[in-house]
Structure 1
Amino acid sequence: MLNQDVLRNARSPGRGFAAAKRGFDIAVALLALPAVLGVAAVLLLLNPIANRGPLFFVQARMGRNCKRFTIVKFRTMSAGQPEGGPAPRGPDDPVEDERITPLGRMLRRARIDELPQFFNVLSGDMSVIGPRPDVWDHAIHYLDSVPGYRARHTLRPGITGLAQVRGGYAEGIRATVQKTREDLAYIDGLSPRMELYILLRTVQVVFTGKGAR
């Protein structure tokens, strides 16, 4: 069972910290745009050979205050059905690894597929750091089945987060329970020091490929 003190203490940051965090998000997203556009140009050349289909895929996710938003990523699976296991697949169904293309696997291992989410950061739907947003259809189920899951949506979801650098990809309800613990611990201990820790660990994860799917 989740620690009830953590659940009670899940809170939004103060206005000053929230403003600084948003300013940091915008600055990082703007700095990342040349990289996003550069990778997009390379993939436009590679996709017809190694990953035929659209450059991007979009998907409904659950964001701040449990509101729905659309996430943008570079496509890593074979074109056709949506990526990421949305309905009618259930929240405990495994990821369709067989649909990940060789090029897509490389993008996932280096987290390059996540780069277009900086557009979500600029739009205000996401932050650089925060709880990772789940597929909308799965998240609706988790609201009723995972203790504390609603509280993890106090903040904007992030491109990276404490749960990702500690545990990697979460698949199914059991892993989502542990992810929720980490997310609530992040919210409870929100501070510049925590943000820096996650950024440094993210760099380590990107270079090692740990937790990539």
Structure 2
Amino acid sequence: MTLSILWYFVLTIVSRRLDPYSLAVVPGGAVGRLDEIGGVNWHWLVSPDMIIDRVNGVVADLRADLSDDWERYIADRALAGVPVYHVKQITESLTGRVEIEHLSENTLGSINPNQAYIKIKQVIDWVCALLALIVLAPLLLLIALMIRLESPGPAIFRQERLGFGGKSFTVYKFRTMTVSEPEAANVRSLAVTKPGDSRVTRLGRFLRRSRIDELPQLINIVRSEMSWIGPRPEATVLSSHYSVALPFYRYRNIVRPGISGWAQVNQGYVSEDDDETEKLHYDFYYIKNFSPWLDFVIVLRTLKTLLSGFGSR
């Protein structure tokens, strides 16, 4: 089963690159930004009499006030066996993001994750994390010793973060930076790591690039506070800021946060509000499509990220 999924995943990537999708676009409504999405041959229709051969589907804003001629065109294409996509549906599929501008679009449940899978995933996470802690214990102790020898301070970095159900918890990571002043620990500017941050130690750079600094979070998984895969938990001080600045921000806590996630493998590390909005769109896509198959894809892309160092700071 695993080999079949892996083969399908690789085949999909190769076919997308060798033979990009061709989609015909019906004018009207919110289709104007589709040409910003790469990897697709967009064919912009100018008349209902225009027929384009060998397209993978027709895209239209089905909520727009389309003319009778265009509605007949859409119906005829569907009868001819050509898939018809709503613009929002195709945008989410191609970008891996869910944009939510109004509460009515969410309808307080349309992107609720599968509750059965949440429970099954928790059991799998717990067993795998416990086994990993047992196997990696000697390595974890060695890394902790190296951190203590390089710079003064504890080997483990602790920080209060917002997690599942909006409850705060203490996250554990290997310390990769010099120790900050205690009284400044909750200042938002110190909770954000900037590119080339001078506080990062030499060993810390390696731990961050390889993501080894995340390994102590296995403890959080065993404590059922985190998962292997899910939206990254934010520091409480940052969560408070984003909850005010960004609509629906707290909704991302409807699933357990993860060591890796859909936003991390697509976007990398973010620090600005605009980037955080983009990250939120990726988080909502993950929640809406919450499934073992998406988790498996994230695992594969996480392995690629580990090798490339994408998004590390």
Q: Same fold (TM over 0.5)?
A: yes
Letter in structure 2 aligned against 1:173: D
SS at match of 1:159: strand
Give runs of aligned pairs for residues 70-149 of structure 1, distance below 5 A: 70-81=170-181, 87-90=186-189, 95=194, 97-149=197-249
- Measured after TM superposition, the shift of residue 73 of structure 1 is 0.5
Question: Of 264, 281, 295, which residue of structure 2 is paired with 1:195?
Answer: 295
Residue aligning to 1:66? 166
The one of the two structures with greater contact order (alpha-carbon pairs below 8 A, sep at least 6) is 1
User: Are the counterparts in 1 of residues 145 and 155 from structure 2 also a CA contact under 8 Å?
Assistant: no
1:139-196 deviations in whole A, cap 9, x for unaligned? 0111121122111110111111000011111112111111110000000011111010
Letter in structure 2 aligned against 1:151: Y
* Residue 31 (str. 1) matches residue 94 (str. 2): no
- Measured after TM superposition, the shift of residue 32 of structure 1 is 1.5
RMSD (Å) for aligned C-alpha atoms:
2.3
Residue aligning to 1:19? 119
Residue aligning to 2:111? 10
Question: Of 56, 76, 85, which residue of structure 1 is paired with 2:156?
Answer: 56
1:107-131 deviations in whole A, cap 9, x for unaligned? 0000000000010011011111111
- TM-score normalised by L of structure 1: 0.89
User: Are the counterparts in 1 of residues 156 and 175 from structure 2 also a CA contact under 8 Å?
Assistant: yes
User: Are the counterparts in 1 of residues 148 and 155 from structure 2 also a CA contact under 8 Å?
Assistant: no
Distance 1:13 1:81, change over 3 A: farther
For 2:119 and 2:283, the matched residues in 1 are separated by 20
- TM-score normalised by L of structure 2: 0.62
Distance 1:39 1:81, change over 3 A: farther
SS at match of 1:61: strand
Residue aligning to 1:210? 310
User: Are the counterparts in 2 of residues 10 and 188 from structure 1 also a CA contact under 8 Å?
Assistant: yes
Contiguous gaps of at least 5 residues in structure 1: none
1:42-94 deviations in whole A, cap 9, x for unaligned? 12432244233211010000111211111000100012447xx9532349965
SS at match of 1:57: strand
* Aligned residues between the structures: 210
SS at match of 2:198: helix
SS at match of 1:105: helix
SS at match of 1:131: coil
For 2:212 and 2:133, the matched residues in 1 are separated by 13
For 2:258 and 2:181, the matched residues in 1 are separated by 25
Give runs of aligned pairs for residues 137-176 of structure 1, distance below 5 A: 137-176=237-276
User: Are the counterparts in 1 of residues 163 and 233 from structure 2 also a CA contact under 8 Å?
Assistant: yes
